[in-house]
Amino acid sequence: MMTEIGCIADDYTGGTDVAAGLRRAGLRVALVFGVPTSGQALPPCDAVVVAMKFRTTSVEKASEDVSAAYDWLTSQGVRRFYYKYCSTFDSTTEGNIGPITDLLLQLTGMRTSVISPSSPVHGRTVYQGHLFVGDRLLSESPLRHHPLTPMTDPDLVRVLARQTAGPVGLVSWAVVDAGPPTVREAFDLLARSGVRHVVTDAISVDDLRTVVSATQDCSLLTGGAGLAEAWAELVRDQRDIGTGTPDGDASAGPRAARDDHSTPVETVSAAATLLLAGSCSAATLAQVSEAKTAFPSHRLNPVRTPDPAQMLREARAWLQAQPSGRPRLIYASATAAEREAAVAAMGPRTAEHLEHVLGALAVDAAAMGTRRFVVAGGETSGAVVSALGIQHVLVEDELEAGVPWCTTEGPRPLRLLLKSGNFGSRRLLVDAA
């Protein structure tokens, strides 16, 4: 089996989001966590996502990790590459979207990049180079208050120009709406004029398919999960034509193959589920509020317990006292005012301490027999996956768009649902458990 697409994602829940999109397109997907080691094996798959944590790290560290991931992907025979960043373009003023795209252009030998964070299924669209969340500009959405990457400028051309020395251009929606040949001509014109990064408007899934069709000869694309899914659809259809698989035949080809090695859902008990929430987004706060009314819950409160070691001891005691046969919730999610109070009590490393506690509690729960983990927040997901020592998972069915279940391999698999802080309906945590 040939691995068609290798994707590099800048955080863990971003990795699950794009993996879900690739799977929706009919590909069998493996999700690898962290920087792969040179000898690390790749499970049989059509696409592989390497999910790392470099969204807010230094440019130097991010570049080092991405270079290592790229080398590993090429060693696995991958020739098509996708750089997945957040559909709300989460980044600091310095990067890392611009610098990492520059690096990947250098590694792949491409002259011009496609910049397309649009993900209509999640309400993220780009028009006239401006990013919208639902019907609001990015700068008017809750993302403007993000504690790590406050997004106060919706103009992607302007944002990217601050992160890279390469000229940035725009392919407007009128061009996209005219079809692939017109888009291809616009890209070629911009490239000949020296433009290095091309932001593309897209307000629908069909727009993303148009962009992919126009750039199908590229070995590198960048964007949100929406463009990746459109690219995977094209790759799938081209392979189906090449192998003689009738389009739409669910009994043959990659559509059927995607589940050959999946772990049956019923092998992992739904009763012993631990929900861990660290995201402070509005969506997660609402989901935590709903879950607290349904399940026993314990809050990690730095104001009440500023000593991380004591906080962990108290949470462990609470966890051990709960009946193992029902879902349990442990959360550090807090409002902006509560976060300020927490930092005043615990210090500048508050977020790091909370992530460590949540990861340690996941290890405790696994030792007690818990095999289903539902985790809210990208940083929290990274802490939990790292603490559990999980290197890779197979991606399975989605609970909601962009939020898939993932399963480890082996005789006693763990089942994970890693949720981006901004994703999901109010009942997502309850429904997951």
Which token pair is 80? 């098509």
Which token pair is 236? 């799938």
pLDDT at position 42: 87
Which residues span the domain enclosing 103? 5-257
- Pairing mode, if any, of strands 415-419 and 403-407? antiparallel
Run of H or E residues at 403: strand 403-407
Same-domain pairing of 251 and 399: no
Same-domain pairing of 236 and 294: no
3-state SS track over 189-206: HHHHCCCCEEEECECCHH
Into how many domains does the chain fold? Answer: 2
Closest CA to 25 of 255, 250, 257, 259: 255
Closest CA to 191 of 158, 209, 215, 212: 215
Tell me the residue ranges of DSSP E strands in 160-241. 168-171, 197-200, 220-223
Same-domain pairing of 109 and 16: yes
Domain at 108, CATH number: 3.40.50.10840
pLDDT at position 215: 95
Same-domain pairing of 223 and 134: yes
**pLDDT of 301-358, one tens digit each?**
999 999 999 999 999 999 999 987 889 999 999 999 999 999 999 999 999 999 999 9
Which token pair is 141? 């959405």
Among 257, 277, 307, give the residue marking a domain's end.
Answer: 257
Find the length of the chain.
433
Domain at 425, CATH number: 3.40.980.20
Q: Does residue 145 come out as left (phi exceeding 0), alpha (psi in the -120 to 50 range) or beta?
A: alpha
Closest CA to 117 of 157, 77, 59: 157
Same-domain pairing of 253 and 276: no
Confidence of residue 119 (pLDDT cuts 50, 70, 90): very high
How far CA 160 is from CA of 19, 110, 165, 380, in Å, comes to: 25, 18, 9, 27
Residues 100 and 62: beta-carbon distance below 8 Å: yes
pLDDT at position 171: 98
CA dist., res. 297 & res. 210, Å (int): 47
* Percent of the chain surpassing pLDDT 70: 93
Same-domain pairing of 184 and 82: yes
